[in-house]
Amino acid sequence: MTGDEIVRLCRRHTLFEWSVQTSIDPIPIARADGIYFWTPEGQRFLDFNSQLMSVNIGHGDPRVVEAIAAQAQLLAGAAPSMATEPRARLGAKLAEITPGDIEVFFFTNGGAEANENAMRIARVVTGRHKILARYRSYHGGTAGALTATGDPRRWASEPGIPGIVHVLDPYHGVARGWESSEEALARLEEIIELEGPHTIAAFILETVTGTNGILIPPDGYLAGVRALCDKHGILLIADEVMAGFGRTGAWFAVDHWHVVPDLLTMAKGLTSAYVPLGAVGMRREIADHFERRPFPGGLTYSSHPVACAAALAAIRVLEEDNLVEHARRMGTVMAECHADLARHPSVGAVRNIGLFGAIELVRDRATREPMAPFNGTAPEMAALNAFFRREGLYTVVRWNYFFTNPPLCITEPQLREACAIIDRGLDITDRAVR
């Protein structure tokens, strides 16, 4: 099929996520390799968002493709009540690479279900019902995960599930910036007191916030959250669906701050999106709760053998190619490129940790008014998006910012090539600056 035919039929018979259907303009994608993908007509794109921050190892790695094919030939499906070798091996492997004594895993189809199960486990284990979550967050598109989500994707599904309480983040947008860890923690503790600590089962947070702007917590924040949770018997759920598997230059983002959460959710980089798989990992003590009581969750495709085999192979690629370390080194190059791009008058803030980055744009240097309002668009952001597309750079432009999240296998020249395109694109937004 031609690209136009694919787009026409997809639009006629399928729905695209979170969008007014007439406002979208999907890219037809036919094949992919490494950091690039191609349309059926052969237009090449440098994938500067790893699709949805998910193809961590890069596209089309034969080691993963072959593992999927081999497992499909041997045993393509199994009931979740069966014990399979890929499930056994993946559980053991994840116990090895996740922090502290997180060593038991429940497998899901993706990130939302991982968070859904994490929140339910926290409620069952603590006997409490409230869940704290942050406003600048996304936790998935199912009922509980979407209620925990703080960003506007929640609004259409409200009132959602009972018992979720939102708290403010240390970050308050490009105009107001960051508050200190101490201020953020004092505010959090006040909310915990006001809500009643004995009613709160868990605090769920993205260790490094993803779609809401790559928000890297100030030093001391996560350790402070851990201490507050310990003080009040609240479980800490780290949502590492986007930040995990080397994205930040560590296996998991919590590793940067040496914090061990009680539950850790993952998806995306777990299989590098070659097939769908998510998981919630838990500390031994939490898993022990279910030794003599039923575990209250299940899914037909939980622990799917093909997905587990894909995850094992994708993790092996991260290890064999030393991609976690490589992401850390390339993160330094990205920080350099970002710092250089910051000379543009429209650049209001740049952030990255490893290959997890974002650039925020402003239209006024003095007031730092964002180039597009919260949850809104602006013609300049649309023009920048169109420029990237014309130049063959794929990334997501959202509100007043855009992402810099390539596959972890990107080389330094490729990274500089992408930054050179961004450099030229920013001339468009510079023209709007007062």
Q: How many CB atoms lie within 10 A of CB 110?
A: 21
59 or 247: CB nearest ligand PLP: 247
Shortest gap between Cβ of 170 and ligand PLP (angstroms)? 17
97 or 215: CB nearest ligand PLP: 215
Helix (H) or strand (E) holding 106: strand 102-108
47 strand-pairing partners: 394
Residue 272's alpha-carbon distances to 91, 200, 333, 407, in angstroms, are 17, 34, 23, 9
Shortest gap between Cβ of 432 and ligand PLP (angstroms)? 29
Residue 319's alpha-carbon distances to 35, 324, 341, in angstroms, are 18, 8, 32
* Angstrom distance (rounded) from CA 132 to CA 54: 26
The answer to whether the beta carbons of residues 407 and 56 sit under 8 Å apart is yes
Calculated CA dihedral for residues 169, 260, 211, 316, nearest 10 degrees: 170
Shortest gap between Cβ of 17 and ligand PLP (angstroms)? 9
* Angstrom distance (rounded) from CA 112 to CA 277: 11
52 or 228: CB nearest ligand PLP: 52
Shortest gap between Cβ of 148 and ligand PLP (angstroms)? 9
277 or 418: CB nearest ligand PLP: 277
* Angstrom distance (rounded) from CA 181 to CA 176: 15
179 or 206: CB nearest ligand PLP: 206
269 or 345: CB nearest ligand PLP: 269
Shortest gap between Cβ of 288 and ligand PLP (angstroms)? 26
Q: Which residues bind ligand PLP (CB under 6 A)?
A: 52, 110-112, 115, 138-140, 206, 210-211, 239, 241-242, 267, 278
Residue nearest to ligand PLP (CB): 111
Sign of CA dihedral 48, 272, 321, 352: positive
Shortest gap between Cβ of 270 and ligand PLP (angstroms)? 10
